[in-house]
Amino acid sequence: MARNDGKDRTVARNGDYTRSQIGNIERHNERKNESYQNADIQPQQSDKNIYFKKPQGGYIDTFDKMCEDGTISTKGLKDGAVHFNELLFDVNTTYFEERGGYEYAKEFFSKAYDYAVQKVGGEQYILSAVMHADERNSAVSEQLGKDVYHYHLHVIYVPVVQKEVKWSKRCKDKSLVSTVKEVITQVSHSKKWASHKEIGEDGKPHLVKSYSILQDEFFNYMCDCGYKDIERGEKGSTDKNITTTELKVQKEKSRLQNTVAEVQKVEHILHDQTEVIEQNQQTITGQRSKISQGNAQLEKVANKKAKVKDIDSVETKSAMFSNGKIIIDEAEFENIKTLAQKQVVSVTNERKLSADNKQLRRENQTLRQTNAQQHQELSEFKSVRNKLGANKDVMRVAELEKFYDVVMRFLEKFKLREQFERFSKMRSTKISEVDR
């Protein structure tokens, strides 16, 4: 499948299958399975699949009937030889989604089918041609917030070449020797897809792979049909085509690798958050120390109040000829004055310490609540991370998506989601399609 990297590349692949292999391909293409390992296939959507040529029977049965009718010949084929080929035409999902979706894809692949007929050598050699519209693209669906399906075309056909059969030397009429006896339509994958040499710009012959020619031809054909907003599939990739199942495996491995990378990033965040929790604990300890110091200060103030009460025990005498005035010892007066000044300062300090103490208690309570919540979230993340580590190689996509939800809630909580999403956009969009 196409690589979802923002470029709308065409893909044209050719697979080859023996009689023993074609059964699995038929069950997949014609949706004959009762269930599928690929969770992206949604059988309830299969009625939207479009047939450009519907099979007239089973692939093998149709092949054998073509042999009986003389439409094709297996003369010269060894046991276990390739009898069937499959052309797969594709462009990345977003290309269709941005241009009309399902209806646009039908028009596009109807032209692709016309090219397939030319490439195969005639519609009579095509057993089935179906556009799948029931495979959900999980990555794009998550990105756009709705169900988006990946449209692509499978064309099953018999690879044939026109072969001249010549008269041998055993022919009685010697004048016919080495002349053409008959032309048969021979089944031959190797001859149909034989590479050939071309003279390069350096003036030297270079081997040109048949699959590279297929890519060029398909791209040019679609451009000639008016689809000029696409690019040719990436050159220099593996020439040998792989099966749809292998493509799905590659896609899931790629998604897993990207998710593991995200997990590692979150682990760094967890590490940083653990440090924040430890710092909060240190702050709580510091706040407790300040509260203790405040309590000690209040106790000192209380002691000073106790000393002030000692003034009641100072001996006084009434002053002669002075109405309401008393006489005390000068030393006692100085002591009272000093205590009074200290009392004013103590009352002020007491009020400030009391206010500070209340503030420290409120902050301490807030820190306790925050710390408890962070511990809970950290525990949840560690549980998911440990599960991921234990099952990294066999993790299902559904588990990854659950973890992704937890990650998003965590990042949202600490106002990091926007930064994380910017980071995600800098890397390639979650790969759901593989291009060559």
DSSP label of 167: B
pLDDT (0 to 100) of residue 19: 94
CB atoms within 10 A of CB 46: 14
Q: What is the pLDDT of residues 73-125, one digit of tens each?
A: 998 888 889 999 999 999 989 999 999 999 999 999 999 999 999 999 999 99
Average pLDDT, the chain: 78
Helices then strands (H, E): number in the chain?
A: 11, 11
Q: Look at the block and give the residue holding tokens 């038929």.
A: 26
Q: Which residues contact 397 (CB under 8 A, 6 or more apart)?
A: 39, 138, 252, 255
pLDDT (0 to 100) of residue 119: 95
CB atoms within 10 A of CB 83: 24
CA 333 vs CA 232, 301, 314, 318: distances in Å = 104, 22, 9, 15
CA dihedral sign, ordered 313, 317, 323, 325: negative
pLDDT (0 to 100) of residue 335: 72
Is 80 exceeded by the pLDDT of residue 326? no
DSSP label of 82: -
Q: Which amino acid, one-letter code, is at 148?
A: V
Tell me the C-alpha distance between 297 and 87, whole Å: 87
Q: What is the pLDDT of residues 195-214, one digit of tens each?
A: 878 777 777 887 888 888 99
Q: Contact, 16 vs 84, CB < 8 A?
A: yes
| Of 34-48, 308-322, 417-431, the least confident | 308-322
CA dihedral sign, ordered 61, 65, 71, 74: positive
Domains in the chain and their CATH numbers?
10-239 (3.30.930.30), 260-311+339-426 (no CATH)
- Comparing CA positions, the residue from 376, 367, 378 lying closest to residue 284 is 367
Tell me the C-alpha distance between 120 and 110, whole Å: 15
Q: Of residues 175 and 257, which shows the higher confidence score?
A: 175
366 backbone dihedrals φ, ψ, rounded to 5°: -60, -45
Q: Which amino acid, one-letter code, is at 53?
A: K
Q: Which amino acid, one-letter code, is at 104?
A: Y
pLDDT (0 to 100) of residue 398: 58
Q: Which residues contact 222 (CB under 8 A, 6 or more apart)?
A: 10, 108, 111, 112, 115, 230
Q: Of residues 121 and 236, which shows the higher confidence score?
A: 121
Percent of the chain with pLDDT over 90: 32
Burial 110-121 (b: 16+ CB within 10 A, else e): ebbbebbbebbb
- Give pTM, 2 decimals: 0.55
Is 80 exceeded by the pLDDT of residue 405? no
pLDDT (0 to 100) of residue 320: 45
pLDDT (0 to 100) of residue 238: 42
Q: Of residues 323 and 32, which shows the higher confidence score?
A: 32
**Most confident by average pLDDT, 3-17, 161-175, 285-299:** 161-175
